Amino acid sequence: MKRTSCRLLRRTLAAALATVGLLGLLTAISQTGPQSTVPAAATENTATVFYYTKTKDWSAYHLHYAPDGGSWTTTPGVRMEAACTDWVKKTVSLGSASGLAVTFNNGSGVWDNNAGKNYGLGAGNITVKDGVVAHSDPCAGTGPDPSPTGTNTASVYYSTTTVGWTTTNLHYQPAGGSWTTVPGAGMEAACTGWVKRSVDLGGATSMSAAFNNGNGVWDNNNGGNYAIPAGVSTVKDRTVTPDAEDPCEAEPADTEAPTAPAKVSADADGVSVVLTWDPSTDDRGVTKYQVTRTGGTRGTMVTDVGSTVHSDANLEERTAYSYTVKAVDAAGNASTASAAATVTTGEKPAEQAGGKPLGTDPRKDPIYFVLTARFNDGDSGNNRGGSQHEKSGNSANNDPMFRGDFKGLVSKLDYIKGLGFSAVWITPVVLNRSDYDYHGYHGYDFYKVDPRLESAGASYQDLINAAHAKGMKIYQDVVYNHSSRWGAKGLFTPKTYGVRDAQWSWYYDEKNDGFAYDGLTVEPKSGKSYYNGDLWSTAEPSGNTCLNWGKPTGNSSPEGYRIYNCQWPSPTSGMFPKTYYHNCWLGNWEGEDSRSCWLHEDLADFNTESAPVQNYLIGAYNKYIDMGVDGFRIDTAVHIPRTTWNRRFLPAIQERVTTRFGAEAAKNFFVFGEVGAFVNDKWNRGSVNHSAQFFTWKERKEYSADDEKAALEMYAYEQQQGTGSQPASTNAFLDGNTYHAPDRSRFSGMNVIDMRMHMNFGDANNAYNNGKDSDDSYNDATYNVVYVDSHDYGPNKSGERYAGGTDAWAENMSLMWTFRGIPTLYYGSEIEFQAGRKIDCGPSCPLATTGRAYYGDHLTGTVKASGFGKVSTATGEVADTLDKPLVTHLRRLNEIRRAVPALQMGQYSTEGIAGSMAYKRRYTDAASGTDSFALVTVTGGATYTGIPNGTYKDAVTGDTRTVSDGKLTVAAPGKGNLRVYVLDLGGRNAAPGRIGAAGPYLK
For residues 881-901, give the mean pLDDT.
98
DSSP element (H, E) containing 756: helix 755-759
pLDDT tens-digit readout, 760-797: 999 999 999 999 999 999 999 999 999 999 999 999 99
Percent of the chain residues topping a pLDDT of 90: 74
SS3 label, residue 764? helix
Of the candidates 8, 169, 21, which has an alpha carbon nearest to the alpha carbon of residue 746?
Answer: 21
A 10 A CB-CB count for 344 gives: 13
In three-state secondary structure terms, 664 is helix
pLDDT of residue 347: 86
What tens digit of pLDDT does each residue of 31-69 get?
A: 233 433 333 444 578 999 999 998 887 889 999 999 998
Instruction: Please tell me whether the overall predicted TM-score, pTM, comes out greater than 0.75 for this model.
Output: no
SS (H, E, C) 178-232: CCCCCCCEECEEEECCEEEEEEEEECCCEEEEEEECCCCCEECCCCCCEEEECEE
5 confidence band (pLDDT: 50, 70, 90) = very low
Distance (Å) of CA 496 to CA 280, 507, 533: 22, 13, 10
What is the tens place of the pLDDT at every residue in 6-31?
332 222 323 332 233 322 222 222 32
Predicted local confidence at residue 37, as pLDDT: 34
Dump pLDDT digits (tens) for 322-339.
999 999 988 889 999 999
Contacts of 885 (CB under 8 A, 6+ apart): 806, 810, 999, 1000, 1001
In angstroms, the CA 981 to CA 472 distance is 28
User: What pLDDT was estimated at residue 942?
Assistant: 98
Q: Mean pLDDT over residues 495-524, rounded? A: 91
List pLDDT tens digits, range 352-384: 556 899 999 999 999 999 999 999 999 999 999
pLDDT value, residue 656? 93
- Output phi, psi for 781, to 5 deg: -70, -10
**Distance, CA of 75 to CA of 109 (rounded, Å):** 10
- Residues 257/293, Cβ–Cβ less than 8 Å: no
pLDDT digits (tens, 9 = 90+) for 247-283: 887 667 788 999 999 989 888 877 888 788 888 888 8
Residue-wise pLDDT for 559-616, tens only, equals 899 999 999 999 999 999 999 999 999 998 888 889 899 999 999 999 999 999 999 9
Model confidence at 986: pLDDT above 90: yes
pLDDT > 70 in the chain, percent: 94
C-alpha distance from residue 793 to each of 97, 153, 227, 276, 788 (Å): 61, 67, 58, 38, 9
What is the model's pLDDT at position 354?
66
Which of 116-125, 543-552, 929-938 shows the lowest per-residue confidence on average (mean pLDDT)? 116-125
Q: What does the pLDDT read at residue 353?
A: 55
Residue 521 has a pLDDT of 95
Give the chain's count of helices (H) and strands (E).
Answer: 16, 54
